Structure 1
Amino acid sequence: MRAVIAERFGGPEVLALAERADPRPGPGELVVRLAAAGVNYKDVYEREGRGPLPAPLVVGCEGAGTVLATGPGVSAIAPGDRVAWWAAPGSYAEQVVVPARAAVPLPADITEEAAAAVLLQGLTAHYLTTSTYRAAAGECALVPAAAGGLGQQLARVLARRGVHVIGTVSTEAKAAVATAAGVRDVLVVPPGGFGDGEQVAARVRELTGGRGVDVVYDGVGRDTFRTGLAALRRRGTFVLVGAASGPVPPFDPQLLAAAGSLFLTRPTLVDHATEPAELAERAGEVFAWLRDGTLSAEPGGRYPLARAAAAHADLEGRRTTGKLLLVPSA
């Protein structure tokens, strides 16, 4: 089979397509023929060496496809079943070993590409808006990078709930995408334009009558952290869910007190969708959101496995909107 391998850590150029032996499932595992793999910033972190896996490694964690074989102890899933997953290392490959407990069986009306496009961000949007901070109708939320894969899905869920969503994007073209996803007020902030964040935060406060937002869902990290804190209302909640621009620098927790007794949390999907029953429940609601139009599975781009480096470069260069997919052929 063919797989995308990073022989060493570095930029997108370290990704290359190579031949590897077909895998065999171990106890509690599946081997799945890939239909589509999702491209995520988690994959970028792995490629750069910020993840737990040593190089060389097959990149990727999310995808969907058809089960080819099952290992000992697997009874609920059989060859021929269609499944999706969000936590299987080495997913940029024509055949992927997936832990059976992490596999989500696909309903007949959900395609493999739709599942690969929506599962990870959909699950993330679900736990962020139901378990981390359940923003309610009449409240206001700030979503940086609102035209990105997670940003769009968050905006859709929040807007459907009646939340006033303010989003930041880097271009006018992305502003249109964010608006279509349900963002009421879109702020165009060119790359590197956040600076100390005071002007952006001041504009957010204008849009909220001087009060500030109730919650910030931030997947950007370093570039937007100070802006988000300054945009919050007293006793508001900052949800840090990623670091697309780099990790947040160390800071004195007294800053949270001085800014209005703020709450700061850094949740992960691992702690919200690892147990099979919880994963199944959340995935079922994500698929329901997909059916009723709350979420969108329209990919922002499709690339063959051989062009994984281009997909990473486009993602990091902020040249895309929505979720990127890798497919065995395109």
Structure 2
Amino acid sequence: MARTVIIEEHGGPEVFKIVDREVGDPGPGELRIRHEAAGLNFIDVYQRTGLYPMKLPAALGMEASGVVEAVGEGVTHLKEGDRAAYAAQPPGAYCEARVMPAAQVCKLPDEIDFDTGAAMMLQGLTTQYLFHRTTPIAKGDTVLFHAAAGGVGLIACQWAKSEGIRLIGTAGTDEKCQLALDHGADACINYREGDWAARVQELTDGKGVHVVMDAVGKDTFEGSLSSLRPLGMMISFGNASGPVPPFNIGELGAKGSLKITRPTLFTHIADHATCQEMAAMLFDKVVSGDVKIRIDQRFALEDVAEAHRTLEARKTTGSTVFTL
């Protein structure tokens, strides 16, 4: 049996329940993992609220780390006793142990502790696809990154710095802006103070940025388009302020033949080999010290509602984990 966080209806943090669930044995292509820590991400909020509808009742959580207890037939990249971490579907990481598909579970290097492993997978693999699998970004290019002091943001600041990419961040307080700067951002704009899109133009001598990486959504969408140079790429990869409303696609032409995409991590990691390659690059960045995973919040599993309230209020910085 394993304590597991579930929801039986969509709604606010009050809908969470903790139940005991039987874990069972892995079937073909599966493994059983005993968790040491699990990560908290905005996708968990979207699933809880019903923005991303789920078949109910459902367990939540998309990433965790722990020790493999058993593997099913056909699983060759992991074995019993291996340290492992993952960001993967289906949800269910908010638990002490689970049986799950093995393909997106990755062997965790000994140099990376379990808390870091749980905090880095979804956000780190997201950063990897943003910089390497979405649109070409060359050394010297300029990227605008919203919520630069969040979990993905702080990884992105360091990632950009390690590859010679200029990153302009935005954040909601001067303290958060300083945090982004401390992690490698070349500049960071407090979006609560004046016209941040105009400030982006100032910082780029009126040219605009090559790429915008925007997980905020509704509140930043128009300004993000206005921050791009002609032929620039808008990567809208989240909805922290709410979904982007419908817009006239003709605006892309009027603003300079812009491009836009709405990727998801789980498309990128659906192929087993690709997922493992992406994880290997992420692990190399962390082990080398180019990227340090900052964990600023830790919660016990029974405090899951408080954790979600804190995240939704944008009171978090860096990554957040549940300790198990």
- SS at the partner of 2:189? strand
Q: Over residues 177-205 of structure 1, what are the superposed CA-to-partner deviations in whole Å (9 max), with x where a residue is unaligned?
A: 11111112111123xx78xxxx2211110
One of 295, 316, 319 as aligned partner of 2:315 = 319
Q: Over residues 30-68 of structure 1, what are the superposed CA-to-partner deviations in whole Å (9 max), with x where a residue is unaligned?
A: 111111111111111111123342222111111110112
One of 101, 123, 126 as aligned partner of 2:125 = 123
Q: CA 1:157–1:76 in structure 2 vs 1: closer, same or farther (change >3 Å)? A: closer
Q: Over residues 1-25 of structure 1, what are the superposed CA-to-partner deviations in whole Å (9 max), with x where a residue is unaligned?
A: 2111112111112113222223332
Cα distance between partner residues in 2 of 1:104 and 1:76: 8
Aligned position for 1:67? 68
Cα distance between partner residues in 2 of 1:257 and 1:322: 36
Cα distance between partner residues in 1 of 2:228 and 2:277: 31
Query: For residues 281-292 of structure 1, what are the structure 2 equivalents within 5 Å?
Result: 281-292=277-288
1:21 aligns with 2:22: yes
One of 171, 174, 199 as aligned partner of 2:173 = 171
Cα distance between partner residues in 1 of 2:240 and 2:250: 25
Aligned position for 1:182? 184
One of 226, 229, 250 as aligned partner of 1:230 = 226
Aligned position for 2:198? 202
TM-score for the superposition, normalised by structure 1: 0.93
* AA matched with 1:127: Y
Query: Number of matched residues?
Result: 322
Aligned position for 1:272? 268
Report if the CA contact (8 A) 2:190-2:196 is conserved. no
Cα distance between partner residues in 2 of 1:50 and 1:110: 33
TM-score for the superposition, normalised by structure 2: 0.95
Which consecutive unaligned segments of at least 5 residues does structure 1 have?
none
Cα distance between partner residues in 1 of 2:6 and 2:202: 48
Aligned position for 2:56? 55
Cα distance between partner residues in 2 of 1:235 and 1:22: 51
Report if the CA contact (8 A) 1:217-1:239 is conserved. yes
Aligned position for 1:240? 236
Q: Over residues 138-189 of structure 1, what are the superposed CA-to-partner deviations in whole Å (9 max), with x where a residue is unaligned?
A: 2211101000111111121112222221111011221121111111211112
Report if the CA contact (8 A) 2:155-2:293 is conserved. no
Report if the CA contact (8 A) 1:143-1:167 is conserved. yes
Q: Over residues 67-118 of structure 1, what are the superposed CA-to-partner deviations in whole Å (9 max), with x where a residue is unaligned?
A: 1222233344222111111014211000122211111011222222211111
Cα distance between partner residues in 2 of 1:214 and 1:293: 27
Report if the CA contact (8 A) 1:84-1:104 is conserved. yes
Which consecutive unaligned segments of at least 5 residues does structure 2 have?
none
Cα distance between partner residues in 2 of 1:213 and 1:115: 32
Cα distance between partner residues in 2 of 1:67 and 1:74: 12
Cα distance between partner residues in 2 of 1:94 and 1:142: 38
Report if the CA contact (8 A) 1:241-1:266 is conserved. yes
Cα distance between partner residues in 2 of 1:22 and 1:243: 33
Report if the CA contact (8 A) 1:61-1:91 is conserved. yes
* Regions of 4+ moved over 6 Å: none
Q: Over residues 187-229 of structure 1, what are the superposed CA-to-partner deviations in whole Å (9 max), with x where a residue is unaligned?
A: 1123xx78xxxx2211110111111111101111111110100
One of 206, 209, 212 as aligned partner of 2:208 = 212
- SS at the partner of 1:205? helix
- SS at the partner of 1:68? strand
Aligned position for 1:260? 256
Cα distance between partner residues in 1 of 2:304 and 2:153: 22
- SS at the partner of 1:300? strand
Deviates more, 1:74-83 or 1:149-158: 74-83
RMSD after superposition: 1.5
Report if the CA contact (8 A) 1:135-1:158 is conserved. no
Cα distance between partner residues in 1 of 2:269 and 2:74: 21
Cα distance between partner residues in 1 of 2:16 and 2:137: 39
1:221 aligns with 2:217: yes
